[in-house]
């Protein structure tokens, strides 16, 4: 029985834990050769080992998404191992240990580092990967946004507004190469990083949702697999909210 991603190679950044790990495991289960791209080597290798134990195919590449050199090295390593790249999930972000501050007072060096990962990282990775996708006849990119883009969320929300803009602009730039670019905007999701950031306040977030529970990483998987697959062959430039009804846009 064939799977949706047989013979496909998909890179997932920030895949050592949380939602990124859920994406990586699900893609491998559907036949993809998965690249776990993360700075956390110990956890990333652990995800690869778990995928292989379940019969899947995966490799770890230590990657700093804010670095053009690191992104280029990833493409070279993946091409050597698997022949090329068909899909990219730009999930990596500074989040679990994110500082809280105002835009008008946040330390400027921290702000620039934060944005270099949380916003620019998606562009850095796309610039490195798209030639490989083009050479293979096309591909799909999924950026990780957040409902924070539509709410007051300081520089975190600002980065996600940027991700949404990147998604729409890049969709037009690479559409002629048969590369699609979309984004997923998760609502409050029960990950270790969210528990660190929100603590007991997460319970209050749930009260404002149409569906009265926190999201789980697995809740994001269906949208990600759909957007990466041929089933979404005429879907690009879209930001899909998977948020339990937290946001409404007309």
Q: Which residues are catalytic?
A: 156
Please state at what angle helix 217-228 crosses helix 18-29, rounded to 10 degrees. Answer: 50
Closest among 86, 132, 128, 95 to 114, alpha carbons compared: 95
DSSP string covering 17-76, please?
Answer: SHHHHHHHHHHHHTT-EEEEEES-HHHHHHHHHHHHHTT-EEEEEE--TT-HHHHHHHHH
Contact 99, 106 (CB under 8 A): yes
Distance (Å, whole) CA 38 – CA 40: 5
Contact 63, 37 (CB under 8 A): yes
């Amino acid at each position: 029985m064939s799977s949706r991603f047989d013979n496909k190679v998909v890179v997932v950044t920030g895949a050592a834990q949380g939602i990124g790990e859920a994406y990586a495991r699900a893609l491998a289960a559907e036949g993809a050769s998965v690249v776990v791209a993360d700075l956390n080597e110990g956890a990333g290798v652990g995800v690869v080992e778990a995928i292989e134990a379940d019969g899947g195919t995966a490799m770890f590449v230590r990657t700093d998404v804010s670095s053009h050199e690191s992104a280029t090295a990833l493409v070279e390593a993946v091409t050597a191992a698997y022949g090329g790249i068909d899909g990219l999930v730009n999930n990596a972000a500074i989040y679990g240990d994110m500082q809280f501050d105002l835009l008008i007072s946040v330390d400027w060096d921290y702000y620039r580092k934060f944005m270099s990962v949380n916003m620019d990282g998606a562009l850095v990775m796309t610039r490195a990967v798209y030639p490989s996708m083009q050479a293979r006849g096309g591909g799909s990119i999924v950026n990780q946004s957040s409902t924070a883009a539509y709410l007051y969320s300081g520089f975190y929300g600002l980065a996600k507004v940027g991700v949404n803009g990147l998604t729409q602009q890049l969709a037009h730039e690479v559409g002629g190469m048969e590369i699609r670019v979309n984004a997923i905007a998760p609502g409050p999701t029960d990950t270790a990083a969210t528990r660190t950031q929100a603590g007991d306040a997460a319970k209050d977030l749930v009260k404002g949702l149409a569906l009265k529970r926190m999201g789980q990483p697995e809740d994001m998987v269906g949208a990600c697999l759909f957007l990466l697959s041929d089933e979404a062959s005429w879907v690009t430039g879209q930001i899909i909210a998977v948020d339990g009804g937290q946001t409404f846009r007309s």
